[in-house]
Structures are given as structure tokens and as C-alpha cells.
Chains A and B, each alone.
Chain A
Amino acid sequence: MAMTKAQGVSVTLRNIGLAFGTNVVLRDIDLDIEPGEFFAFLGPSGSGKSTLLRLIAGFGPAPSGELSIGGQNVTHLAPWKRRVGMVFQNYALWPHMTVRRNVAFGLEERKLPTAEIRKRVQAALEVVGLSEYADRRPAQLSGGQQQRVALARTIVVEPRVLLLDEPLSNLDASLRVRMRREIRELQQRLGITTIFVTHDQEEANTIADRMAVLNDGILQQVGSPMDLYDRPKNRFVAQFLGTANLIAGTLVETSGGSLFRSSDAIEIPLAGGSAGKATSHAMFRPQDLRILGREETITQGELLLTGSIRDREFLGNLIRYSVALGERDILVDDGHQMGSPAYAVGASIEMALDPAQVRILDA
């Protein structure tokens, strides 16, 4: 295995903005990606995540702001001078060239000696496990194999940064999980700074060290997957990463500390003093609620909520109830095992909520 561990470089975005004509697609993006980090851009379609990735590679309209790779300002550098490797969503393998020639392309453009090219192509194909397929054409390969060729073609030139544009979206479910692990392993082995674009939060959660959530061309929040799931800053992040119950209300200060009060007077005492705005949203996840059995009661500090079941969905490992609580419906997850009780639609239930699990959102 001749592929060597690279020295990762940082990627810094300062005040990046971008527009297609009058249509603004990215606004004021500030982001620091650490050397050697596996970073994900996560967002719904149209959020600007692919545009941001392409911008780093040098494609698309010229942006405003400043983009640095490894401390070098590359904002206006031509794509072919950037030394960032990109794997395209559709792989973009050249159909008129064999696998070997596809992989050799970047080295040939760098005018390396033929012997060196042969050696490095061989090594890259070994890394992705496609040595026997070197003389096939892309059309003769399966989707997963094409994906690997695209990866080999990119890493063989030892780019400073590896960019992956939804690389798993064209694969079927089981292959996706396998490729996900392979890509992660390869990244760890090469130590290369990698940015991964996806709309699938599970993909981002499992693969990325940190991620940035984008919506409407605006960076919503940056952090580790668990961090973002547990402490979303706003409603978009809370709802995009998993299922969230949101309750609108106001923060009030009482003698006993801060209190969140909803419009229909559900009151949630807050542990730490929250410095949020006067009107805000309280968020908790369906699994933060515990349905109380006949004999059960709440423990010290827990909040008792009562509602009636409107609807239920059986999801296998759990049953998700939609419960009418005051003016709204909330979702409650109840873990399922064989023999555990299932509540009927219309039944009235009691639930316990630990106020420590309730997050007050900024927006």
C-alpha cells in the first residue's frame, strides 16, 4: 500500500456569499474546518450545501468573501490550480477511458513520469480494491465499483482536501452503509481533510466528526452530530435533526427561578437561568416523555402532563403516539417489547417530563 498519510490542511470560509444573477444562494458563511477533520454539510435540497462544496472546488459564479485552504487565499483561483479533490454525485467517470486511464488522468495532467504514474495508479486501485478492473470501462462496472473508481481517481493525485458531493445517493441501501464505512476508514487512513455533502442526517451522524446544518443559504449551526441533536439552536435544526415537540411561549422570571409559560398555561420550570428572548419555543424530543403506567407516579422535579391519544404509529422498536395536550398535539415515544401495553386511540394518559431535557430555542 503506497498511499501515504497526508498532512491535513484547514479550510476557512470568511463571509462567503454567492448569487446566481439576482438569486442569492449563500449568505455570510463563516466556517473553520480543522486539518484532518471529516466534516459534513447537511441540509435539505436547495439549502445551498452542494453550491458551497462546488464553491470550495472553484466551480460556479465567483463568490464574495474569502476562502482559504491551508492558509492560502484561493477565492479567485482557477479550479485546476486548487489541488482539492472532488467526487461528484454521479461520479463523472469519463466513458471513453478505461478505469486505469480515468485514474491516471490527474497524474498525466501533472506531467509525472510514466513509471511513477503507473505505480501510483496501481496503488490507488489497490486501496479501493479494484486492481482487476483496471482495463474495464466505467459502463462495465456496478454503481459501487464506479464510486470506488471515482474515489481512486481523486485520491491518487493526493489532494489537500477531499470533497464528496452526496457520494452515496446513487447506491442502494445496504451498499450505502458499507461504502459509508469504507470512506470513513479511507479518510482516517489518509488523514485528509474531507468535506461531505448530504441531505441524510443518519449519513452525516455516522460519518462526520463535525457538521454544519444549512438552510436557505444560511449556516444554521455547527458542531458535532450529538451536540447538534442535543442542543439545537433553532427550530429548523431541532426539526431537521430528528423529531421535535415545539411549544411556543414566553420566559418569565419568578421568585423560584425562570419559568417557561406556554400560551395555554403549561408551565415548565427551567433549571439554569435561560438568557433567551422573552418569547421563544421550548423543545423536547418524543423520547424525553415517559408514559406513566397505572401504578406509576412522577418522581421529584418531574412535570406531569395529561392528554388523550389521537393517533398512533407502530414503528417496531417503539410506538409513537400523537397526544392532544392543551391546544396542540405532541409526539410521545413508548419503547416496545413483546407484551408491553399499547394504548388505544382516545385513551387518556399521564406522562412525565424531566425539565432538564427541555431546551429553550433562540429562534
Chain B
Amino acid sequence: MPSRVQWGPASVGLTLAIFLAAFLVVPVLKVIFVAFQDPHTGSFTLVNFQDFFRTSLFRESFWNSLYVAGMSVMLASIIAVPLAYFTTRFNFGGSILIQTLGVIPLIMPPFVGAVAMQLLFGSNGSVNLLLDEHFGFTVPFMDGLNGVILVESIHYFPFILTNLAASLANIDRSLEESAQNLGASGLRLFRRVVFPLAMPGYIAGASLVFLKVFDDLGTPLLLNVNKMLAPQAYLRISSIGITDPMGYVIAVMLVLFSMFSLWASFLAFRGRDYSSVQKGGGGLLKRDLRPWEKTGAYLVILLILAFVLAPHIGLLLLSFGTVWSYAVLPDGFTLDHYLRVFETSSQYVTNTLLYAGLAATIDVILGTAIAYIVWRTGLRGRTWLDYIATAALAVPGVVLGIGYLRIFLGWEVPFSGQPLAAWWVILVIALSVRRLPYALRACVAALQQVSVTLEEAAENLGATKLRTVWRIVVPLMSGGILAGFVTSFATASVELSATLMLVGQQSDAPLSYGIYVFMQSAAGRGPGAALGIIAVVIEGLGTYLSHRVIERGRRMRTADRIVAETVLGVE
């Protein structure tokens, strides 16, 4: 570490710190501060929290949120554990199918598919109509909280699948063989060796699922389930106003639980680098399946595949369907919804491209700068930039939205006189702050692949630090930077929770907001679904592109798990 004073990096570091402070730390602290503030006198108080727990609606919302998040983890585990087990223990062609299963849900935000799921699995949906007609009973798949649980777990189970499969794949077969050699076998072997070794991966995945479900605003809103924490926070702020303390109390709850689950997932991995694959070894012992086992496995996979594809199929039907009500399928098919979207609502698409593009650009610039400062300079406190940027993962969009509304209340955009919090630029900044952790991880991974001597060689030949960054570091990081950009872009383009809070006027709104607005009315469902399909295409393309970029990078000897995790860290 050079100990000479580094004015260049120091000023960049300071700029980054100011950005993170202004748009992440201060808004969140403000929200927490207000939650503990007496709304009339301004003094410190716990009365808001007492009020919260005294109100039966909030108590119910609190338990509902916990219940939904917990049950979603359960259901997601039931889906993911057998799939992870199949891929890592057996030789069979279904593995490719399972890998596909791990990606499909991620290319559609849960709230987009929610309405389509209602039409398929609701009490008057296709499945129940068929069941009622042929077997005379119905299943309450989508009734109340069940709907949220089903939609969320179908969407988020890949977190558990990929983390658990990675953990299992990292267990060297010599560990299993030495246990067998010492007399353990069958279930005992699984319980005493395989299970403990795979545990960190499972915990990490499960806590991510918990966090995402607990914070989600769009899905419950679209399913009209309002008695949960995130929707309550949104409804309080949007109906009663920015001064109502209950919104802040709920925000504090959301942050607390998010921090807790993020902490749990870090804890699961800390001091447990169980990655034990040796040279020439690799993975657990795989065996071939017997015919009846293979049939069973395929049945399970196909059943899951049907559920996983349901939102996509439903959305597609909805976007092309004329009228779809009390029927297994829509009455007829049409292109009208797409035409209507392109005629009247194309600003949603252009806004989304603009906002997500800007947010992703900001993210990769910040991500590259933070990665460089943390890993290549000796600046004091540099790791805090990394910690704080990563902590954005634990800040739900609702909370960030409330924070911005509160902080920028009364500020105006220079020259236009428009309220600052409703300015679309603020939404772009909110999106970039929310997606920064993904871009940052991709940039850090990319920078770690660049050997320091490559930079020293440039300096030795007369290039200054800045020239070295420009000519050597950035070009060599370009794969990772591109992957980070695409991930940020794809996920920012379907962000809903901060968007809902911060969109000032319809003409400034992005896709996700448009989908939400359309889906509110029965007549808007068709166009809403068409917009949803557009969003899925954008995100699908993004995921595919970043996958390609990463695969290319991996072939170029840059295999890195963190990047893979980044791609999966999609909302």
C-alpha cells in the first residue's frame, strides 16, 4: 500500500461518500429518526411503536408479513431442495431442465405475474374451474395470503436452488468417501456429513428469500392483500401523508427484519468456507437413476415447471386475450392490447429505458470507483464505502422512497420550481442506489481478476494512476462492468416499490408503474399484461446478455461465483 498522500483517490472517495450519505444513509436515518420522534413536540419517544402494536390492523399486518415470508421460505424450500438434490446426486438429462427452472422465474418480477396467477389459480380461475367441473372440489391456491405465498415462492425459490446446489457441488467426494470408509452410510451419512456441509448455502438462500418477500410491496398490492407491512407503509404515506408517523414505524420494522436476514446469510458463510473440492476431485458421488426413479424425478420436475411457467403463460394469454372471466381460457385472441399500449402508453417503455439505462450507468461508474478505491488504494475508511453500498440490499424500496419524500420535502428543482421528490431524476437516483450492490459485486469480482502487476507495469512505463485506470484497469474489467450494467439495467427496469412512492406524474412513470396502474382495473388487465410481456422481454434479454457476458468471461479464465450470485440477486 503506497503511503504517499493520494489526493486523486481521496477526492473520488469523498465524492462517493457524499453521494452514499445523501441518497442512502441520511434518508434511512431520517426515517428511523422520525419513527422515534413525537410528531407534535419533536422529542424522542417510543409512543409511535406503542401505537403501532396497540392497533389491531398493524399487529395483524405484522404477523401476516412474518407468516407470508416464513411460509414462502417453506414452500420455496419444498420446491428447491429436491431439485438441488437431483442435479448434484444423480446423472440424468433433467439437469438442464432444472437449470432452466432456476432462471425462468427471475426474468419476471412477481407482481407482474400476480394477476395472471389469479386468473389461473384463483377461486374462479382456470384450474379451479376444471377441478370443480371434473372432481367437484376447489383448492384455495390464491385466497388471501395463500396467493402472496404461492406467487412469491414460485418467484424466489431459485435463490435457494442455486445457493444450495452450489454448496452441494462444492463438497468433495473424498469427504463422503472418508465417511463411508469410517462406517457411515445412507441417511446417517447424509445427516452427519452432507447436510451440515450444505447448510450454509441453504441458509444464505433462505434468508434472501425471506428478505425479498418481507420487503415486497407490489405483489400484495396487486393481489389486493393490504394487511401486510409494506403495503400498510405505502398506504399510510400515500393516503394520510408524509407526516404520519405510522409509515415510519413500519419502515423501521422492514429495515430491522431485512438487516436481520442479511446478517443471517452473512453469518451462515462466515468462517465456513466449506468449499472443499480438490484438484481432480469434484462434487459428490453421482449415480445413475433406476427407471422408476427417473420417471418420478421427471414427474416432480415437470410439476414444478408447470407452476413456474404458469405466470408467464397466464400473462401471455392475458395479453393476447379478449375477455377472460369465469373461463378456463380467454374467449378470443387479439393484438389490441399491444396496439393500445404502443399508441397510448409508449412513454412507459421509453421512460423505463431512460431511467434504467441512467441508473445502470451510475451504478457501474460508482461500482468501478468503489471497487478500485477499496482494493487498490490505502485510503482510510475505504471499506466503509463497500459496506454502505452493500447495505442498500437491506433497505426496502418503500423505506428508501419514504426517506426521499421526507428529506426532499419542500425542496424544489432549480429553475422549474417542481417539487424535488417528484422529479424523475430522483427516481433514477433511487433506482441506482437500490441496484448498486449488484453492480458493485460484479465490479469487485472483475477487479479482483486484474493482477496488480499489470497496473504496476503501466506505471513503470510512465502512465499515471488515472491513465492506468483508463488504459489497463477499465478495459480489463469491461466484461464484469458490462455484466453489472446489464444486471442493474434489467432489475431497475422492473423496480416497483420505490417507483410507486416517487413517481410524480403519469407522464414520468416507468413500465412497472404502468403495469401497476393498468392492473388496477379489469379493463386495464389486457394492456397491463402486454406491458408486462414487454418488461419480461427486456429482463429476459438482460439476463441472457449478462449470462453470455459472464460465460464468456468464465471461459476467459475468470470463473467467479460472486458474479453468478449477482445475476441471481434479481428482484
Contact surface of A with B, Cβ cutoff 8 Å = 57-62, 76, 78-81, 83-86, 88-90, 92-96, 105-106, 109-110, 153-154, 157
Contact = CB atoms under 8 A, between A and B. Distances in A.
B461 interface: yes
A90 B460 contact: no
B47 interface: no
B454 A92 contact: yes
B313 interface: no
Given A92-B451, A92-B453, A96-B475, A79 B4 contact: no
B462 A109 contact: yes
Interface residues of B, number: 21
A157 B462 CA distance: 9
A109 B467 contact: yes
Nearest to B461: A106
27 contacts: A60-B2, A62-B3, A62-B4, A76-B4, A78-B4, A78-B459, A80-B462, A80-B464, A84-B460, A85-B460, A85-B461, A86-B457, A89-B453, A90-B453, A92-B453, A92-B454, A94-B472, A94-B476, A95-B476, A105-B458, A105-B471, A106-B462, A109-B462, A109-B463, A110-B462, A154-B460, A157-B462
A11 to B, nearest CB: 15
Contacts of A57: 456, 460
B1 interface: yes
Given A61-B1, A62-B3, A94-B472, A78 B464 contact: yes
A76 B472 CA distance: 24
B297 to A, nearest CB: 42
A80 B456 contact: no
A81 B467 CA distance: 13
Contacts of B459: 58-59, 78-80
**Chain B interface helix/strand/loop/mixed:** helix
Interface string B326-361: 000000000000000000000000000000000000
A79 B456 contact: yes
Contacts of B2: 59-62
Interface in B1-36: 1-4
Contacts of B472: 94
A166 to B, nearest CB: 12
A80 B463 contact: yes
Contacts of B461: 80, 85, 105-106, 109, 153-154, 157
Name the residue among A60, A78, A83, A105 with the largest chain B CB count within 10 angstroms. Answer: A105
Contacts of A78: 4, 459, 464
A106 B460 CA distance: 8
Contacts of B471: 105
Nearest to A89: B453
A106 to B, nearest CB: 3
A53 B467 CA distance: 24
A93 B456 CA distance: 11
B218 to A, nearest CB: 41
Contacts of B464: 78, 80
Nearest to B472: A94
Closest 9 CB pairs of A and B: A106-B461, A92-B457, A92-B453, A109-B462, A79-B459, A86-B460, A109-B463, A88-B453, A80-B459
Contacts of B453: 88-90, 92
Nearest to B1: A61
A106 B453 CA distance: 15
B502 to A, nearest CB: 40
A96 B476 contact: yes
Contacts of B457: 86, 88, 92-94, 153
B219 to A, nearest CB: 43
Nearest to A79: B459
